[in-house]
Structure formats: structure tokens, C-alpha cells
Structure 1
């Protein structure tokens, strides 16, 4: 299939002319278009077809399942990206890296990633709409940042966001693979109660939404497959020399909601500061010294930080690796725990 010239239409849309080649004979139209217009996802192409924006030999095409014949001439009208529904807001961002395809943010605890009921604005998406502006070329036909993974509101650390459809597709594929066969690398630092007997291990139990407490995730036999690898990095003792807490590195092979928090609680080592899953924390906190209790009491969130993020750049193919040190509040917690020893 040969890609022809692009031309601007009066309504601001771009017209793309395509001529099918012999290699396209008998293939589904949506697959062929996706292969030759990789900047558009198949979902986006199917939506354009449904809107009547594609013609074959001058006649409207009704569906993406249409088979292609050699010599067919297609004309695709791609409208300008629509303004995003969330409003742009001038919110300070800690930008680690940025280019025309993506942006890497070091997210602070307390910042919600995407608008939702209860958090209609003041989110990372609102901030990115303001910061990126016209550099967002449209994800799914809307001028918005492409969120390929998320962090809980009260989890800090590294997060990558796509600026266009091509980058969004490539990054989403890497995150769907979770580094099993591809280049994606993610590591979290977690402060947990107690000290595991082994230096490292794997939690392989399914998780799903709690049957009655809908804001909670729980281990359940009919839940979704979830796999977390963990390794002890440091251990901390109380004033009497008894083990009280551990700094772990956690790596995920799946990306379920609250996965690390639920899995660590499941093996008896809930995260410090986790008010949802850290049952009995007040009793555990009584074993800490005065400074550690004070720092933990002020923390106000789970002690979890996305510290390392590596992925293949969607355009250049280069492997990019970013690391984020513990934010001030977690560094203070670590220092206070070390004093106890």
C-alpha cells in the first residue's frame, strides 16, 4: 500500500490518500490501515470509519472488516484533535525528561493522576494539559496526555506519559508485557512492618475488588493473576534490638490496583502508613522510638515510592532508565528508623 500526500481540508481535518498494493489483497481494511498509518490506533481508525471519514474509490466505507483489493484508492479524513474535557491548570511538575513523544514525571504523594469523581481537577492530567499545550498531538482523537500506567494518589515516584498515539501504543504494549519478555523495568521501594524470614521472595496470589468494601482490593481465588517479586534491602530494629521494619524493593510482573500494598499485607508485612491495609499499625508503632513515631505520624500516606523506571523509547528504540531518590518525607522516615538500631 502506498501512502499518498496529505492535504488540509476546510474544516481543519487532514485528508490522507492511500492506494492499496498487491500485498494488501484480501486483508481486512482496519488491519491494513493500522499497519500503514501506525500513528493511529486501530480503535481510532475504526472510530473514523464509523464516522464516515473513509472512502474507497470515492464511496463511503461502512466497516473495518471490509476486505482490501489491490488498486483500491482510499481517502481518510482525520479531524483536528478535540480539546480535552479536563481543564488545563498551572500545577507545578517535577519533570525528569521530556521530548516530542513523551514526558517523565516524578509524582509527589497526594497528586491524583486522572480526574475522577471526588477529584474532578487538580490532577496530573490537568497539569500536563497546561504544561504540554500544543505538543499534545492527540491520543485517540483528543488532545490529551496518554496515560499508560498510574500510581495511587498517595504513592510517589516516576511515571511516563505519552504525547501522541504512536508513543501511546508503543508504551502501552511495553507496560502490558510488564517486562516479562520486553525491556520495561520498574522497581518500588516499600517500608513494611516486620522482617521476612527470607532475603527475597515472590507473592503469586490473585487479587480483586472486595465484595463489600469497594474501595479495597483483596486476595480472592476468582481474582486476577498478580505477581510481585520482593527483596530485602535493609532491616530496622526497635530500641530493644527486636526486628520491627524492613525496606524492600518490589518488582511487578502485573499491574493490578494496590498490588504491592495487598500482596505485602497478605504475607504479613503491610506497608508503614497504610491506613487501608495496615491493620494494627498503632500497636506496631508503639514499638518505635519517639522520633520514628513522630515522623510516621506525620507521614499521612503509605510508605511506597516508584524509584526506578526503564523503557524503550517509542521512536528511537533507545533504552531510557530513570531513578528517583526517596522524597523528603520517606527519607526522614528512613533516618528515624535507622536511629532506632
Structure 2
């Protein structure tokens, strides 16, 4: 089945360590408040209609509901261009980006007096922002007749090949069109009401994560927030791990309580075998290695995670470890085909670790694999007559080039070790083919 990637299915027990330099991470303390109704921010001025602002008291608990909060602020002249959802999230402490996005889509945000309903709208220095946070609204996971690429299915588990750009389960801003909506239709699981309050309090950016433990807790808690034990028991047998929205590939779904508990335990013990492949900007200094660096929320940009060297007991980061191997050096060293094997499953783990060792994924605008970087690496390799083809290649990168290639686990009913694999989709394969045309070198196997 994996005619082009046969070597990717052999686990390498011997790996070398990666030299990981420390980085200094700066933090900017955002506005913090409790029962704030109106929040106005200006140079040296913070006002509230009820004087309930708790300025910079980092020990205080953030408010549990932001409904009706109004932020009026001029973008700092020192700020670089940012998405409006990310900028607003950075100014209201404790709020999730998904909650901000739902407020934007509801038409409750203006820039210089003009209503903005696009969450990716870029803000610039001097822009006057007025944002009112929307009321909490219940979400419902409705069955939807969405085609599924089913790799394996029996009475106990379902293994699917998730396409890129599909969100795994509903969250504020992504209430439909998700993998869960498709599974509800395919497996005839009863419709479920989600508590948006629970979703927002338990997990941020729920549409874009690959953290099996936080996912399970958030999913179960969201079911309980619906107020019905029957709902909780009917949907809990399902999603036990996630893939990023832009990541394609294999994902296992439990179809009953026993399978859910069994698979969840395997994820907790890190005995699930997961193999990913990626296309990276550049080649790592060591062709084979292990990245063991904690991952936590990036204090400079809440949209992304960051590899944070140091102890994990500070509450800022969680232990994370990834093994990688360069399968193929492409385009004269401008790119590489890299295999990843996860020992843990933190949010954006591969993307954050890849950035940390200097090889961000192609097409990953959030973690440094920008179109500009790709062009700077590849332009010297393309002849002048092919620059148009290069521009077409780069402009076609609409997601991080990351694919969940193989998945192995102990079947919850039979106890047998089961393994599945699926080829990368057409968009990934096309980019790989064009990079190979610029040069391909397969490193010698490690003895």
C-alpha cells in the first residue's frame, strides 16, 4: 500500500539526541478583569463603567463568562500586522480565540467604525477597535451526510482517513461540517447538545489540536455540560484523539464505551503507534534525532503553541517528546521529507517541535513555514524560466504539509495489534513530486 514510503513503517529504536538551545521568551501582560461590562483602553488610561477592573493582578481568576464585555482600544503604534481575532484575544485575558471569532462573525466588531465579520482581517497600528463579546449560545452536534474515507470498521472501532481542512469536532465557530457530524450520521449516534461554556472553559482552539488527553476531558465535560447523562454516555464512545484542521490522515474512533475506555488508556500510556510525514523548510542538522522539549501556549501569540525548554512543573508547559528521521533531502537541501513518531500527543506538537529545531513545515504560516521563506529557499534552485511554476507551487500551499501516515493500536475487543496506513493526499504528493524534480537524495541508513 505504501509503495513510495516503505521505509517509513520500520520503527527505529536507536535515535540520537538533538542539541536544543535555550530561548528567552518574553511576555506581555494583557488586560485582566472580573465582572467587567465596559472596558476602554488608551495611552495610560483604563476605565470601566463599574470599576470592576483588576489591572495586573495575575493571581486573580479570569471571568467565566465574557458576554457583553465591550473592548474599545486603539492598536498600539508598535504592533506589527496581526489577525483581528488574535489581537482581541491578546487584549482580554482568559477569553478563547473561538469565543472572539463567534463575536466577529456575529457582526459585533468594528474597525475604524466599519463592521468586520472576517476573523482573519488584518489590523494595523492606529486602528480603532470596538468589540462586544457575544452571548453564550448552545451548540448542537447534528448528524450530517458527509462522505467518510473509511479505512477500517467493525462493531468496535472506526478508522478514517481525515481530509485536510476538516475540523474533528464541533466548537464555537465550527458547529457543523466536522468529522463528528459525519460520524453521527454514519453510526446513527443520537444528537447531542454541547455546552459552549464548558467547551470554552476546558479547551482553547478546539478545532485545531492533537492533544488526546485534553481532548478527552473537554469532550466528556462538554457532554456533561449538556445536562443529560444519556447524552454523555451516548457520545463519549467516539473521539479519543484529534488531528489539526490542516492535517490529513488516520484517526481512530471508538464505537462503544468499552472501546472508548480501552483506546483512551492506550493514549494515556503512549502505547499508540503514530507515524507522520511532513515536508519541511530546510534540513535539520542531525538527520535522525529526538526532540524532548515541553510545549505550552506561546505567550507572544495565543494562536500558537511553543516549545519551551526547562522544567514542566511551572504550569506553563507540558512534557513532550518526538522522534524524527529525514527520509529524503529535497531540492538541494532547501526542503526535506521527514518522518515523525510521537511519544506524547500535545497540541501542535510536531509543528512546534519542527519550528524549534529550525525546520518549520512547508505551508505552516503560523509556525514559520511561510510563503516568503519557501520562496527564499527555492528561488535559487528554480531556473528563471520556471519562476512562474515556483510561484504557482507556493501559492497552492493552503495548509501545513503534514500527514498522519500510519496508526497502530491494540484492538479493544480482540487484543490483537492492528496497524493501518494510508498514502498522503494529492496536494501533498504534488508538492513532493515537484521538489523531487529539483533534486532528491536519500541519506544512507543508520547502522
* Pair in the same fold by TM > 0.5: yes
Structure 1 match to 2:352: 262
Structure 2 match to 1:98: 153
Out of 244, 247, 253, the position equivalent to 1:152 is 244
Q: Is the 8 A contact 1:135 1:163 kept in 2?
A: no
Distance of 2:373 and 2:416 partners within structure 1:
49
Give SS of 1:218's match.
strand
Out of 207, 215, 239, the position equivalent to 2:303 is 215
Give the drift of 1:296.
3.3
- Is 1:229 aligned to 2:284, yes or no? no
TM-score (norm 2): 0.53
Give the drift of 1:281.
4.3
Distance of 2:231 and 2:342 partners within structure 1:
26
Structure 1 match to 2:285: 197
Alpha-carbon distance change, 280 to 153 in structure 1, aligned in 2, over 3 angstroms = closer
**Structure 1 unaligned blocks of 5 or more:** 1-83
TM-superposition CA deviations, 1:260-317 (whole Å, max 9, x none): 0000000000000001002554133244234354223212000000000011110011
TM-superposition CA deviations, 1:188-242 (whole Å, max 9, x none): 00111111232200111111012242221012244100001000100112xxxx4
Give SS of 2:334's match.
strand
Structure 2 match to 1:338: 436
Q: Is the 8 A contact 1:292 1:337 kept in 2?
A: no
- Is 1:319 aligned to 2:417, yes or no? yes
Name the Cα RMSD after superposition. 2.0
Distance of 1:111 and 1:152 partners within structure 2:
9
Give the drift of 1:318.
1.4
Residues 297-316 of structure 1 mapped to structure 2, 5 A cutoff: 297-316=395-414
Structure 1 match to 2:258: 166
**Structure 2 unaligned blocks of 5 or more:** 1-138, 192-229, 311-315, 440-447
Aligned length: 249
Structure possessing the higher radius of gyration over alpha carbons: 1
Distance of 2:422 and 2:394 partners within structure 1:
21
Give SS of 1:168's match.
helix
Give SS of 1:299's match.
coil
Distance of 1:161 and 1:187 partners within structure 2:
17
Distance of 1:130 and 1:144 partners within structure 2:
16
Distance of 2:322 and 2:391 partners within structure 1:
29
Give SS of 2:435's match.
helix
Structure 2 match to 1:186: 274
TM-superposition CA deviations, 1:61-115 (whole Å, max 9, x none): xxxxxxxxxxxxxxxxxxxxxxx94100000110001111110000000100010
Structure 1 match to 2:71: none
Distance of 1:298 and 1:225 partners within structure 2:
35
Out of 100, 107, 115, the position equivalent to 2:162 is 107
TM-score (norm 1): 0.69
